[in-house]
Chain A
Amino acid sequence: QQQVKQSPQSLIVQKGGISIINCAYENTAFDYFPWYQQFPGKGPALLIAIRPDVSEKKEGRFTISFNKSAKQFSLHIMDSQPGDSATYFCAASFDSNYQLIWGAGTKLIIKP
């Protein structure tokens, strides 16, 4: 199965709260899991990425948690700020010659 299922479709979080976006996959051969952030009117930009040999990766307020046995990975945004309001995409790939398989995206709104 090539799909990456992303949830929720949309999310509203109060400023200062924790935003959590989840992704699930079926293909255990996937070995690269990036998250992209897209602001309105802009193209997506790589936010953070993880490989299955680690369970967590943190960059500033953004953390990817990876659960290999459950075939799930998630993005946590700590102390969410209005500037984090964007659409977030998870993705996965399993071979350097194949394109990314994308989740459907999550529209995140941080309320001031």
Chain B
Amino acid sequence: KAGVTQTPRYLIKTRGQQVTLSCSPISGHRSVSWYQQTPGQGLQFLFEYFSETQRNKGNFPGRFSGRQFSNSRSEMNVSTLELGDSALYLCASSPSLGANSPLHFGNGTRLTVT
């Protein structure tokens, strides 16, 4: 079974621009979560989608948004990029909704904002 695929692996953007990251979950997994990982802050939860609906949201500004498609693939968008948005963005899929369902992470998208 193919794992979670995130594209692109690396991105360099300029402050003020917007960016879209993509995540393809493991086949059959309906829940997709997004995390921001930085050296100082660890893993910070962004949001979770299940059946095309956002079910949980972390404490991030509205510049961070996401969506899930009918095939469970997900995208996250960050608008008006700031230098502090530089991070590794991880996507995780799981078979069902909820924290107790094991998360399967992709290898992330490394975003650098200059």
Contact = CB atoms under 8 A, between A and B. Distances in A.
A66 interface: no
A93 B4 CA distance: 23
Contacts of B48: 99
Nearest to A41: B107
B43 A102 contact: yes
Interface of A: 32, 34, 36, 41-46, 49, 89, 93, 95-100, 102-105
Nearest to A104: B42
B58 interface: yes
Contacts of A32: 99-100
Given A41-B107, A99-B56, A93 B42 contact: no
A105 B42 CA distance: 7
17 contacts: A36-B103, A41-B107, A42-B107, A43-B90, A43-B105, A45-B104, A46-B103, A49-B102, A93-B98, A95-B98, A96-B99, A97-B97, A97-B99, A98-B98, A100-B99, A102-B43, A105-B43
Interface residues of B, number: 23
Given A89-B43, A99-B48, A43 B92 contact: yes
Interface of B: 4, 33, 42-43, 45, 48, 55-56, 58, 90, 92, 97-108
B4 A43 contact: yes
A104 B101 CA distance: 21
